[in-house]
Amino acid sequence: MYYFIEACVALLVSFIINVFVVTVFANGLYEKTNSEVYQVCEKNDFAIGMETFDGKDNSTISVDLNKGGIFLGCAFGAAAMYIWAVGIFAAGQSSTMTGTYAGQFAMEGFLNLQWARWKRVLFTRMIAIVPTFLVAFFSDIDNLTSMNDILNAIMTLQLPFATLPTIAFTSSTQIMGDFRNGLTNKIIATILSALVISINIYFVINAVQEELPHHWAVILAISIYSILYLLFCVYLTIHMAVNMGATSLANHWFVKKYIGSPVSTTLGLSNPAIYAR
């Protein structure tokens, strides 16, 4: 019942909230100019942050989290803006705590580091907060928003490193046994992962083309990184296919030598009992 509530009810509520947010912003900001949004603030006598929008600028507005919150205040009152701020804060706390738990599993499982919980939380929180604080203190809100965009792009690039191994491990008979993914789940999960990864990479490419300078050194560095990134994604894809049961691919000499066969139930540990304590 707990997993049903967490996986279905919580995600459904989150989906509905996100639909509302996207709908409101699409209706109020899509193809609107800075001048038009400024007039909305002026019409409703909302002065908090309205200088963010230039009343004489007729170019299409470039929306970010800060401008989105101010627009909510202009259109629906200060309460909407403060609710938006609390929601952003809560989202940041949620993602940070998720990272903390992931760090806990990595430290204890892979690195065998036994840290007190408060030390682990303090360490991970400092890593998350200190760079953000420095940018906010020594710069302005625009640079902080740009940093947020860069972090989103980085997380987008890391998405295949999470989805492909997850599908591989949950489809492996050696690991999951009778609870492995069925054929339908394998097909749906693979298609959805490919779709999401393709969309995210498309937006990252657009962001790189628009934001980064077109200098030969920058292009060379991006090209080298892209080749290595794609090669690793291909490696993960082959690994996923092998764990899904692609025997002809698993028997290929190249795959046997450089990628390996489906993992065993001990995950390659010489003495699994040590890590099961």
Q: For 81-114, write each residue's pLDDT tens digit.
A: 999 999 888 887 777 777 777 777 777 777 777 7
In the structure, what pLDDT confidence band is assigned to residue 271 with cuts at 50, 70 and 90? low
Contacts of 49 (CB under 8 A, 6+ apart): 66, 69, 70, 73
Amino acid at 268: G
Q: For 160-207, write each residue's pLDDT tens digit.
A: 888 898 898 888 888 888 888 888 988 998 998 889 888 878 877 887
The DSSP-derived string for 44-78 is TT--TTGGGS-TT--SBP---HHHHHHHHHHHH-H
Which helix (H) or strand (E) segment is 133 a member of?
helix 117-138
The angle formed by the CA atoms of residues 170, 265 and 114, to the nearest 5 degrees, is 90
**Res. 258: pLDDT tops 60:** yes
* Exposed e or buried b per residue across 239-250, where buried means at least 16 C-beta atoms within 10 angstroms of its C-beta: bbbbbbeeeeeb
Please tell me the distance from the alpha carbon of residue 9 to that of residue 5, in angstroms, as a whole number: 5
In the structure, what pLDDT confidence band is assigned to residue 276 with cuts at 50, 70 and 90? very low
Domain layout of the chain by residue ranges: 142-261
